[in-house]
Chain A
């Protein structure tokens, strides 16, 4: 603990020191939702000097899942005989017809799982149920979906399918930079994704856009150190790729996981909330595995449903606005009654702001939105 204290204080000092010599105010983007939450949880924002900003990028898998995909999941969950397996985060995201949580309360068989293989086990154990797995997430969860599909194939299961909304992080970063709507001075790159892809993946950002990229772990000390490094690189006008999470992340990543992904999936264009269609940013089943594709099995197509009126989640996850600049934030949209996915997901930027960042009067105002005399009870 004392070492952690000393290390974190040293990191904060380096950050403050480097910030003094910054030629102009700098903004850095963290790509990963876990980083967003961890930075708020450890109070990093409250320690940052005025000329350094840390903004959130499109790295919360729930937040970037398009409204159409969520609507498809809810529709599938309500079909007779279907058991929908999902990671917990997806439960509360609202589509055009409510959320999976609401579908579950209404009688749909929606089960929260922690591991993709649980869905396969369920399909094997309950052959009369048609198990659909909501395959969501970046490169961190994609290999697990691939493993599940291969296991279902090995077992010869005909009642297991997956609705694949997996995303790839690099095409989204490129699209964001190409759009020229976002001005950042460097990226804090996701440790978990990098563990799979290898940090070399981000070399193209450094080369093409001349922006520093620092791969970071998730402890408070690691995040503080990564931000300090980014500020130092910006001060020195140096675009380089740094791996500050060598315990877990290697240059080329986890080849076995990469091979699994490649075996089962191929890159396709995909729709992101807030970013629209991005070439090669999603994944679809290779033809050999097409019988596991829930979309074709259940003949369901994404409806182009409009996003909730007034909701600026798309702008929030692309750092075009802060949650506080959204008119719905903390007034109409709260964790109790979320409107956009960034308020639903525990890794969403809006929820993190709501939970950790509200100060002074703005809190009192938004308590009204919760509309309860905040009282704990054991009734």
Chain B
């Protein structure tokens, strides 16, 4: 959940005409189609190069014989602490996972903090303790950093930007262009827990929530998977935009047809309940401790076994497959036997009225 940028209340009211083609709106940060549009029309034309243009979770640094991966991510979650984690755990896990899904072992992290004037020191201490604990869990160190403070009201508590470098194993090449018809889609466990836990903590703090965020560094699980299993062709962590975003993206980028079986996708009953209450589709809700893995069909069983060896992969399962039809669509086979298209969500998720 990284779309918590808040405008300042009480700014001048006079008739601004804000148009999302000319101004940034919150939905540009939602990770969906509008984020794509911002990247395609504003960022890539100005910054684009071969590595950036790949739009992968991390980039292999060119000129280094393909051995170093680099990634960066900003974290602006609100509230700073939520059931199952906090911004510190998120800031380490998110970056570590972005390296891991590209087949890189994290070597070091760079942490940049933007603090709002007035932030309580003990809040900051607990965030940094959490950064340390999560980095230890992942077996990586924060090796450089920076801190800036902005005036009261110019930021909301703490924003963290974490960059990470990782080393890529010689044989690993994980890329959507490796995906072929017949390949199998696996997810490492239940979906939508993080997004709904944060949303409930933010919007309904008075509700005693039984939801826990799944935020966790997955690099050890993923390293074991890659070490034990031949035939992993692509991975991505289904964060903003959820599972739908990742599989729709696989379909678009490969031009192939992806089929998911709703019955096989694990949504915890309490998570489903929260999603129903807010009118959200769990398939479109963020995860921070899950990975989507595409493997060759013969490697699927071994991949599941390898994932299950880790505490974060206990509920790993096959959820779908890649089919030869060249339409670039993702189709969901529903529980009642129906079919529907699964698309990339738009942007910010809006709970419904009734």
Which positions 75-126 of chain A face chain B at CB distance < 8 Å?
78-83, 87-92, 97-98, 101-109, 112, 114-115
Contacts of A357 in B (CB 8 A): 340-341
Contacts of A11 in B (CB 8 A): 336
> B17–A44 contact, CB under 8 A?
no
Select B341's contact among A89, A138, A355, beta carbons within 8 Å.
A355
Contacts of B35 in A (CB 8 A): 377
Q: Is A365's beta carbon under 8 Å from chain B?
A: no
Contacts of B98 in A (CB 8 A): 378
| Segment at the A interface, from B36-44, B103-111, B129-137 | B36-44
Cα A12 to Cα B335 in complex, Å, equals 12
> A98–B253 contact, CB under 8 A?
no
> A102–B338 contact, CB under 8 A?
no
> A106–B336 contact, CB under 8 A?
no
Cα A115 to Cα B343 in complex, Å, equals 29
| Segment at the B interface, from A231-239, A300-308, A367-375 | A367-375
Cα A9 to Cα B9 in complex, Å, equals 52
Select B336's contact among A88, A97, A220, A355, beta carbons within 8 Å.
A220
> A46–B339 contact, CB under 8 A?
yes
Contacts of B71 in A (CB 8 A): 378
Select A90's contact among B55, B281, B353, beta carbons within 8 Å.
B353
- What is the interface size of chain B, counting residues whose CB is below 8 A from a CB of the partner? 72
Given contacts A102-B20, A140-B354, A192-B354, contact A374 B33 (CB under 8 A): yes
- Contact digits for B95-131, partner A, Cβ 8 Å, 1 yes 0 no: 0001000000000000000000000000000000000
**How far does the Cβ of B244 sit from chain A's closest Cβ, in whole Å?**
10
> B16–A103 contact, CB under 8 A?
yes
| Segment at the A interface, from B83-91, B301-309, B313-321, B325-333 | B325-333
> B350–A112 contact, CB under 8 A?
yes
Residue of A nearest to B7 (CB): A104
Select A360's contact among B9, B16, B327, B353, beta carbons within 8 Å.
B327
Main DSSP-derived SS at the B contact region: loop
**How far does the Cβ of A190 sit from chain B's closest Cβ, in whole Å?**
9
Select A78's contact among B13, B25, B328, B338, beta carbons within 8 Å.
B13
Q: Is A42's beta carbon under 8 Å from chain B?
A: yes
Select B249's contact among A89, A220, A221, A374, beta carbons within 8 Å.
A374
**How far does the Cβ of B63 sit from chain A's closest Cβ, in whole Å?**
22
Contacts of A374 in B (CB 8 A): 33, 36, 248-249, 252-253, 344
State the total of A-B contacts with C-beta under 8 angstroms.
215
> A137–B353 contact, CB under 8 A?
yes
Select B340's contact among A46, A98, A136, A347, beta carbons within 8 Å.
A46
Contacts of A107 in B (CB 8 A): 7-8, 11-13, 16
Q: Is B15's beta carbon under 8 Å from chain A?
A: yes
Select B352's contact among A34, A83, A360, beta carbons within 8 Å.
A34
Interface size grouping (class) on chain A = 35 or more
> B354–A373 contact, CB under 8 A?
no
Cα A301 to Cα B211 in complex, Å, equals 45
Contacts of A224 in B (CB 8 A): 336
Contacts of B39 in A (CB 8 A): 372, 375, 377, 379
Contacts of B336 in A (CB 8 A): 5, 8-9, 11-12, 42-44, 47, 220-221, 224
Cα A172 to Cα B19 in complex, Å, equals 34
Contacts of B352 in A (CB 8 A): 33-34, 87-89, 345-347
Cα A115 to Cα B200 in complex, Å, equals 13
- Contact digits for A194-225, partner B, Cβ 8 Å, 1 yes 0 no: 00000000000000000000000010110010
> B73–A378 contact, CB under 8 A?
yes
Given contacts A46-B339, A47-B336, A374-B248, contact A97 B36 (CB under 8 A): no
> A375–B36 contact, CB under 8 A?
yes
> B40–A43 contact, CB under 8 A?
no
Cα A42 to Cα B332 in complex, Å, equals 9
Which positions 132-149 of chain A face chain B at CB distance < 8 Å?
136-138, 140-141
**How far does the Cβ of B288 sit from chain A's closest Cβ, in whole Å?**
12
- Contact digits for A352-363, partner B, Cβ 8 Å, 1 yes 0 no: 000111111001
Residue of B nearest to A192 (CB): B354
Q: Is B31's beta carbon under 8 Å from chain A?
A: yes
Select A87's contact among B34, B329, B333, B351, beta carbons within 8 Å.
B351
Residue of A nearest to B328 (CB): A364
Q: Is B229's beta carbon under 8 Å from chain A?
A: no
Contacts of A178 in B (CB 8 A): none
Cα A141 to Cα B36 in complex, Å, equals 35
Q: Is A251's beta carbon under 8 Å from chain B?
A: no
Q: Is B324's beta carbon under 8 Å from chain A?
A: no
* Most chain B CB neighbours (cut-off 10 Å) among A41, A98, A374: A374
Q: Is A341's beta carbon under 8 Å from chain B?
A: no
> A34–B339 contact, CB under 8 A?
no
Residue of A nearest to B10 (CB): A109
Select A375's contact among B55, B57, B341, B347, beta carbons within 8 Å.
B55
Contacts of B253 in A (CB 8 A): 374-375
Residue of A nearest to B346 (CB): A335
Which positions 313-372 of chain A face chain B at CB distance < 8 Å?
335-336, 345-347, 355-360, 363-364, 370-372
**How far does the Cβ of B24 sit from chain A's closest Cβ, in whole Å?**
7
Contacts of B20 in A (CB 8 A): 102, 105
**How far does the Cβ of A60 sit from chain B's closest Cβ, in whole Å?**
9
Contacts of A378 in B (CB 8 A): 57, 71, 73, 98, 239
Cα A40 to Cα B252 in complex, Å, equals 22
21 A-B contacts, Cβ less than 8 Å apart? A5-B336, A12-B337, A41-B340, A42-B335, A43-B338, A61-B354, A88-B351, A89-B350, A102-B18, A102-B25, A106-B23, A112-B350, A136-B353, A140-B354, A359-B341, A370-B37, A372-B40, A375-B39, A375-B40, A376-B55, A376-B249
- Known A33-B352, A42-B334, A101-B27; further 17 A-B contacts with Cβ < 8 A: A4-B335, A43-B339, A102-B23, A105-B23, A107-B7, A107-B11, A109-B9, A109-B11, A114-B204, A335-B346, A345-B352, A346-B352, A372-B39, A374-B249, A376-B55, A377-B39, A378-B98
What 7 pairs between A and B have smallest CB-CB spacing?
A: A43-B338, A106-B16, A88-B350, A107-B11, A102-B18, A8-B336, A106-B18
A interface residues (Cβ-Cβ under 8 A, vs B):
1, 4-5, 8-9, 11-12, 33-34, 37, 40-47, 61-62, 78-83, 87-92, 97-98, 101-109, 112, 114-115, 129, 136-138, 140-141, 192, 218, 220-221, 224, 335-336, 345-347, 355-360, 363-364, 370-379
B interface residues (Cβ-Cβ under 8 A, vs A):
7-20, 23-27, 31, 33-37, 39-41, 43, 55, 57, 71, 73, 98, 203-204, 236, 239, 241, 245-246, 248-249, 252-253, 263, 276, 278-279, 281, 327-329, 332-341, 343-344, 346-347, 350-354
